[in-house]
Amino acid sequence: MGLQPKTVLVIQPDGTEQQVAIEQVQAGDIILVKPGEKIAVDGIVISGNSYVDESMLSGEPVAVSKKENEKVFAGTINQKGSFKFKAVNVGKETMLAHIIKMVQEAQGSKAPVQKLVDKIAGIFVPVVIGIAILTFVLWLILGGENGIVQGLLAAVTVLVIACPCALGLATPTAIMVGVGKGAEKGILIKDAESLELAKKVNAIVLDKTGTITEGRPVVTDIQWNNNDDATRNILLSLEKQSEHPLAEAVVKQLEGVDGVSLSSFDSITGKGVRAVYNNEAYVVGNKKLLVENNITIANELLKYAEEWGKQSKTIIWFANSKQALAVIAIADTIKETSVEAARQLQDMGIELYMLTGDNEATAKAIAQQTGIQHYKAEVLPQHKADFIKELQQQGKVVAMVGDGINDSTALATADVSIAMGKGSDIAMDVAKMTIISSDLTKIPQAIRLSKQTVSTIKQNLFWAFIYNLIGIPLAAGILYPVNGFLLNPMIAGAAMALSSVSVVGNSLRLKWKK
C-alpha cells in the first residue's frame, strides 16, 4: 500500500503542471512522470518514452520499455526517461489495489488450527476433578473409620500430582526453543502453526527471480573479436549514456575502465544506441541494428552468440561502422546455493515447482540448471495463487517461497509461506517464515527444525501423560488394598514439579540437535 506516491503532477488543459493529491486523480487526467518517480495510477502512455521497473508486479528484473499507447501500472518505478500518460484505472481499480485486496482476502480466509493440546486440556481438567471426587467418594464408602481423612488426602494428592503444568508446557517450550534455534540459523518464524506444519510439506512452489536467481541482470560472458578489447572504454562510455536497463550490467562489468568523450549520441528505440568517437561511429544493440547498418559479424562471434542464446541469455552486440567488435551475454544468474537446495529438498521426497513470468526458454534453462523437474513459464501473479490451490486440492501440503509483491497473494494462499529476506516488505509481511540471507538451503534446515520440534512436542506430551497415568492411580490409593501404600501429598507435589522440569529439559535438548 505504501508503494503509491502521495501526490502526482497533473497537466492542466492550459498546459500548466499542478501537484494533486493521489485521492483527487480521476480517470482521463494527463499525468507527467519524471525519471526515478513512482507511477501513481494505471494508464496509457500518450507521449515520451522510458523504461519502467515492473519487478514488483511481474517479478522480472529487466525494466520494460514504454512508449506511446503502452500500459503503465500503479506502484511501478520509472527509470531514466520521462513521459505523459492518461489515467485509466484509479483508486481501488488499479492492479496494485487488486493485489492488496487479494492478499487481504487470502490472509483472512485462513482459520487458525485448533491445537491438539488445547483439546486434551479441555478434557483433562474436568476428568481429573471427576477422578478426585470419585476417589473421595470411594474412600468415604470403603475406607472405614478413617475414610473421610484418607479420602480428603487422596483427593488432594490426585489434584496435586495431576496439575496440568507439564501438559501446558509441552508445546510452548518446544516451540520457543525451535523458534530461537531458527533465528540463530537465519530463519525467522512468525508463528507456531507454520513451524508445526512445515514437517508435513510435500510440495514447494518456488518463484524464479530473486528466489532461485539473484534477481538482477549481470554480464555472464563477453567475447572480443580477435581477443582485442582495446575499444572497451568506448563501450563503457556508450553504455553509461544509455537508458536501457541492461546497460547498467555492462557498466558494472567494466568497472575501473576509463571512459572517453563521445559526440552525436543517439538512442534508437527498440534496437540500441549510436555515438561518434574520433570521427568513427560505434553502436551497441541487438543483431537487427547491425544487420540494418550492413555491419559484418565474424563467424567466431556468431558461434558464441548462438551458444549463449541456447542458454536463454540476452545477447548484445558492440560494433563500429564496419564490423562487430564484441558480443556480450547478459543473464539473471542462479544463486550458488539454489542447485544444492533443490537437490536436498528432492532427496527429502518433496516435489519442487518453479513458477515464473519469464518466457518458456528461460524457464526451461533455469529448471535444467537447478535440477527442478516441474516448471511453468509466463505465469501471471494472480495465477500463482490458483496453481497453489490446485496442488492443495490434490491433497498436498504446499509451501510457497517468494520475494516480491507479485508473490504476496500466493504466499498468503500457501499452507507454509516463506519470504526471502532481501525481497519486498509486503512479501515478508504476508509470509510466516523469512529467510534472512535469501539462501534456499535454509529451507531444508527449516523443515528439519520443524520435524525436530514436532518430535520434541510429542515426547513432551508422552512424559506428561506417563506421569499422570502412573501418578493419578497411585495418588488415588490403588495400591492401598495390596500393600497399604498411600502417596504423600508432598511427594506428589515434587513429582508434579519434576514432570514440568523433565518437559523443559527435553525441550532444551533441541538446542544441541543439528
Grid coordinates given for 113: 488450527
362 with 506, same domain?
no
Q: Is the pLDDT of residue 45 over 90?
A: yes
458 with 426, same domain?
no
Last residue of a domain, one of 385, 403, 436: 436
96 with 133, same domain?
no
Dist. CA 293–CA 17, nearest whole Å: 41
423 with 452, same domain?
no
pLDDT band of 310, cuts 50, 70, 90: confident
Dist. CA 305–CA 302, nearest whole Å: 5
Dist. CA 402–CA 388, nearest whole Å: 13
Q: Where are the alpha helices (DSSP H) in 47-191?
A: 55-58, 95-108, 116-142, 147-161, 165-184
Beta-carbon contacts of residue 345 (< 8 Å; ≥ 6 apart) = 204, 352, 443, 444, 447
pLDDT band of 58, cuts 50, 70, 90: low
148 with 124, same domain?
yes
> Domain for residue 442, yes or no?
no
Mean pLDDT for 413-432 is: 78
* C-alpha torsion 360→352→421→255, nearest 10: -40
195 with 340, same domain?
yes
Of 172-176, 232-236, 421-425, 455-459, the range with the lowest mean pLDDT is 421-425
Grid coordinates given for 512: 544441541
Q: Give 372-407 pLDDT, tens digit per residue.
A: 989 998 887 778 889 999 999 999 999 999 887 678
> Domain for residue 208, yes or no?
no
> Domain for residue 345, yes or no?
yes
CA distances from 13 to 17, 18, 33, 49, 90 (A): 10, 11, 17, 22, 20
3-state SS of the chain: helix, strand, coil percent to 5?
Answer: 50, 25, 30
220 with 194, same domain?
no
pLDDT of residue 80: 75
> Domain for residue 317, yes or no?
yes
Q: Is the pLDDT of residue 468 over 90?
A: no
Percent of the chain with pLDDT over 90: 24
Grid coordinates given for 194: 507454520
CATH code of residue 373: 3.40.50.1000
Grid coordinates given for 387: 496453481
Q: Give 63-112 pLDDT, tens digit per residue.
A: 788 888 888 988 888 887 889 999 998 888 887 777 667 556 544 444 33
> Domain for residue 210, yes or no?
no
279 with 131, same domain?
no
pLDDT of residue 124: 82
E strands present in 225-323: 263-268, 272-277, 280-285, 314-320
Contact call for residues 79 and 53 (beta carbons, < 8 A): yes
Q: Which helix (H) or strand (E) holds 219?
A: strand 213-224
Q: Are strands 64-66 and 30-33 parallel, antiparallel or unpaired?
A: unpaired
CATH code of residue 65: 2.70.150.10
pLDDT of residue 114: 38
Beta-carbon contacts of residue 2 (< 8 Å; ≥ 6 apart) = 425
Q: Give 116-145 pLDDT, tens digit per residue.
A: 666 777 788 899 899 999 999 998 888 777
Percent of the chain with pLDDT over 70: 92
Dist. CA 87–CA 29, nearest whole Å: 5
Q: How many residues does the chain have?
A: 514
E strands present in 358-436: 374-376, 398-402, 416-420, 433-435
Q: Is 207 labeled as catalytic in the residue annotation?
A: yes
* C-alpha torsion 383→389→390→394, nearest 10: 170
pLDDT of residue 195: 81
Number of domains making up the chain: 4
* Contacts within 8 Å (CB) and 24+ apart, 91-98: 91/23, 91/41, 93/42, 94/41, 94/42, 95/42, 95/57, 96/3, 96/4, 96/57, 96/405, 98/382
Handedness of CA 92, 96, 102, 107 (dihedral sign): negative
In 3D, which of 413, 511, 474, 406 has the Cα closest to residue 162?
Answer: 474
Contact call for residues 356 and 210 (beta carbons, < 8 A): no
Residue 355 pairs with which residues in a beta bridge? 207, 376
> Domain for residue 1, yes or no?
no
Q: Is the pLDDT of residue 220 over 70?
A: yes
355 with 314, same domain?
no
Grid coordinates given for 160: 496435586
Last residue of a domain, one of 278, 313, 333: 333
For residue 477, count other CB atoms closer than 10 A to its CB: 23
Grid coordinates given for 481: 488394598
Q: Are strands 30-33 and 272-277 parallel, antiparallel or unpaired?
A: unpaired
Q: Which helix (H) or strand (E) holds 452?
A: helix 442-476
Dist. CA 46–CA 58, nearest whole Å: 23
124: containing domain: 116-173+448-512
For residue 168, count other CB atoms closer than 10 A to its CB: 17
pTM of the complete model = 0.69
223 with 169, same domain?
no
Dist. CA 420–CA 402, nearest whole Å: 6
Grid coordinates given for 76: 511501478
CATH code of residue 256: 3.40.1110.10
220 with 329, same domain?
yes
Mean pLDDT, the chain, as a whole number? 85
233 with 195, same domain?
no
In 3D, which of 451, 395, 430, 514 has the Cα closest to residue 191?
Answer: 430
> Domain for residue 181, yes or no?
no
Dist. CA 303–CA 504, nearest whole Å: 66
Among 29, 42, 53, 207, the active-site one is 207
Higher pLDDT, residue 101 or 451: 451
Three-state secondary-structure class, residue 368? helix
The alpha carbon of 45 is separated from its chain's Cα centroid by a whole number of angstroms, namely 32
Handedness of CA 291, 295, 299, 301 (dihedral sign): negative
What secondary structure letter does DSSP report for 271? T
Last residue of a domain, one of 270, 299, 333: 333
Q: Is the pLDDT of residue 208 over 90?
A: no
> Domain for residue 84, yes or no?
yes
